[in-house]
Structure 1
Amino acid sequence: MHISRVDLNLFIVFEAIYTEGTVTRASQQLNLTQPAISHALNRLRSMFDDPLFVRQGNSMVSTPLARSIIEPVRQALRGLEMTLTDNGKFDPSQARKQFNLGLRDVLESTVLPPIVESITQQAPEINLAAFQVERRELASELAAGTLDVAIDMLLPLPPEIRRQQVSRDTTVVLARKDHPLIKRNLNLKQYLEAEHILASSRRKGMGLEDFELSRLGLQRRIRLRCQHYFAACRVVSQSDLLLTMPEAYARIVNQQFTNQILALPLTMPSWDVYLYWHQNLDSDPANCWLREQIMQAFG
């Protein structure tokens, strides 16, 4: 079929359904009625002679054909969007768009508030969506355009993924107020005598501080392994366990607790956080604007 006979708006609907997973959310994203979305989907199904999406419960699950064409469709739509941008300009006050951020949950509390504050003041019709993406899939998601940018630690990514350092953080130790081992400061002997919490999304493996201890031939006792720093902070406030974590996030999650924030008695590399994007978007006005907001948010 020649492209002159194809309504390109159908591919915008296709991408929205694929991303949102339901006709309802796709209609909300595109500001169209659900019957309009369903009509467009029926035309797509007829065009490709494939159902493209199959309903399972409340979700629309993509068929193998839909999964095979989504990346070319996204790249084509992004190319058209860049081509149609008025003389390479981007006006956030007029733009209607959603930016997708790849973001670890540990960074959401520090990154999102200042970004949202900046964007809501400048861009009333721009939305943000933050997703946690497997690190091994980060490069492909940025290349496919499913993510506009990502924020994470220093990662070994291919050269087509650009990066810029946005922050550097230190490591601290949290202990409850009136901890029996700690009077004013925390030394290495006290650190090793105490029992610890390791907050990690991984089921096994050492924390960064454990690697540094192992270099010195030392080992600490991990009494609890959990997934989130917030839960770990609460456990610290009600026990004699210590928690080692990045300082900036510690000062946020610890606000409702009375835990002490102490210097780590161990030399540790800094927590360097980077902003990542694909080289194809180096000069994209919208992406440049988003990266500028993120850099300002980190201050």
Structure 2
Amino acid sequence: MESINESDFSRIDLNLLVVLLVMYRVRSVTQAANQLYLGQPAVSAALKRLRDMFNDPLFVRTSQGMSPTPRAEHLVKQFAPLMQGLHRTIFTPEHFDPASDARSFTIGMSDWVEHWLMPELVAELSACAPHITIKVVATDPWQAVPLMEQQQADLAVTVGNETSRDLTRENIASAGFSTLWDYRQIPCHAPLTLDTFLRYEHVLVSYRGASESALDSELQQRGRARRVRYVTPNFSALPLLLRRLPLFATVPQGLVHSWCELYGLQAAPVPVNMPDYTLSLLWHNARHEDPASRWLRTTVQECITSKLAAQSARVTRPG
């Protein structure tokens, strides 16, 4: 592609090109002035500037009116489609139709959010936006802000409250944690007592390799501690570990229902107080008004809200 010298454009008044195109169409200074709501002297002055710019008369007087020169014919042939495209770009509101659009969106999220959210979200998109492609990039709470600042994703679904002046974070809802185990490895039923909870070893998910979490801080305030046997950055590793070893795993409540069904695990409330996590959407301010980005945020938010409502109904359902 030929490079563009921006300084060349600083000498060009697009209004002159409008005068050129109108003059070509009407072949009259008077009619051009009427169509442009200008005085004849203003159109004559613009025509003089055009002649100086292109070093050509452009229009000459004939019995048929102001006839274009070959140079004017060539310029109009080049400029007319460009000006039409510029007009569409400036004055036509951008429209996004999910039913027909075929673009790709990138969403950042952790593995547990992907496991919890994406089956329903992809099914929803398959119905209402069949040509849309979704790409998920692994994103923990610490990676979300730099990922979005660099605009490497259209949206992040994350927890925490980190943000920056270039980003918008919108909290959706909060939820709690539950403890999972395999009855064949730890033969006990819900609810868990604190003594039972601490009698067995634990597996901990830590994105940064830390061996303690908010749960351990709460235990320390009680003068108690748990033994963490295994630390992993991936929630997806937990179900098979629990089936093989006598371990407890404390996980977001969103994972409980499907993991108990899929892997035959047991679940119980955590026997100590733990702060809830808040799911939020994070996006770059440059995408705030973009119709496609707004649609994506709304669709993801509605899916999350629906899943959290169903999750809450299961937790509160009698029996």
Shorter chain as denominator, the TM-score bin is: 0.5 to 0.7
Contact 2:96 2:292 in 1 (8 A): yes
Q: Normalising to structure 2: TM-score of the pair? A: 0.63
Cα distance in structure 2, aligned partners of 1:3 and 1:122: 44
Pick one of 149, 158, 162 that aligns with 2:164.
158
Alignment correspondent of 2:174: 168
Structure 2 residue 287 is matched with structure 1 residue 287: no
1:21-36 to 2 correspondences below 5 Å: none
Contact 1:109 1:252 in 2 (8 A): no
Per-residue deviation, 1:238: 3.0
Per-residue deviation, 1:248: 1.0
Structure 2 residue 139 is matched with structure 1 residue 139: no
Cα distance in structure 2, aligned partners of 1:152 and 1:264: 22
1:216-255 to 2 correspondences below 5 Å: 216-255=222-261
Structure 2 residue 154 is matched with structure 1 residue 148: yes
Cα distance in structure 2, aligned partners of 1:125 and 1:169: 33
Name which of structure 1's ranges 273-282 and 197-206 shifts more when overlaid on structure 2: 197-206
Per-residue deviation, 1:201: 3.5
1:185-196 to 2 correspondences below 5 Å: 185-196=191-202
* CA 221–206 in structure 1, closer or farther in 2 if over 3 Å, else same: same
Pick one of 197, 202, 206 that aligns with 2:212.
206
* CA 200–251 in structure 1, closer or farther in 2 if over 3 Å, else same: farther
Deviations 1:207-239 (A, max 9, x none): 231122223332101122234334322222233
Alignment correspondent of 2:4: 2
C-alpha RMSD of matched pairs (Å): 2.5
1:84-123 to 2 correspondences below 5 Å: 86-123=92-129
Contact 1:181 1:190 in 2 (8 A): no
Partner amino acid, structure 1, of 2:117 = V
The DSSP-based 3-state class of the residue aligned with 1:237 is helix
The DSSP-based 3-state class of the residue aligned with 1:248 is helix
Contact 2:109 2:137 in 1 (8 A): yes
* CA 138–230 in structure 1, closer or farther in 2 if over 3 Å, else same: closer
The DSSP-based 3-state class of the residue aligned with 1:254 is helix
Partner amino acid, structure 2, of 1:2 = I
Alignment correspondent of 1:27: none
Deviations 1:221-280 (A, max 9, x none): 112223433432222223322111111113223332222111111111112111111122
Cα distance in structure 1, aligned partners of 2:147 and 2:226: 38
Q: Normalising to structure 1: TM-score of the pair? A: 0.67
* CA 202–139 in structure 1, closer or farther in 2 if over 3 Å, else same: closer
Name which of structure 1's ranges 156-165 and 195-204 shifts more when overlaid on structure 2: 195-204
Per-residue deviation, 1:144: 3.5
The DSSP-based 3-state class of the residue aligned with 1:268 is coil
Larger radius of gyration: 2
Contact 1:174 1:243 in 2 (8 A): yes
The DSSP-based 3-state class of the residue aligned with 2:292 is helix
Pick one of 206, 213, 221 that aligns with 1:215.
221
Pick one of 188, 203, 211 that aligns with 1:182.
188
% of aligned pairs identical? 23
* CA 130–86 in structure 1, closer or farther in 2 if over 3 Å, else same: farther
The DSSP-based 3-state class of the residue aligned with 2:100 is coil
Cα distance in structure 1, aligned partners of 2:178 and 2:138: 24
Structure 2 residue 127 is matched with structure 1 residue 125: no
Contact 2:198 2:227 in 1 (8 A): yes
Q: Which runs of 5+ in 2 are unaligned?
A: 7-85, 307-319
* CA 107–98 in structure 1, closer or farther in 2 if over 3 Å, else same: same
Pick one of 266, 278, 300 that aligns with 1:260.
266
Deviations 1:185-210 (A, max 9, x none): 21112112222111334333312311
The DSSP-based 3-state class of the residue aligned with 1:88 is coil
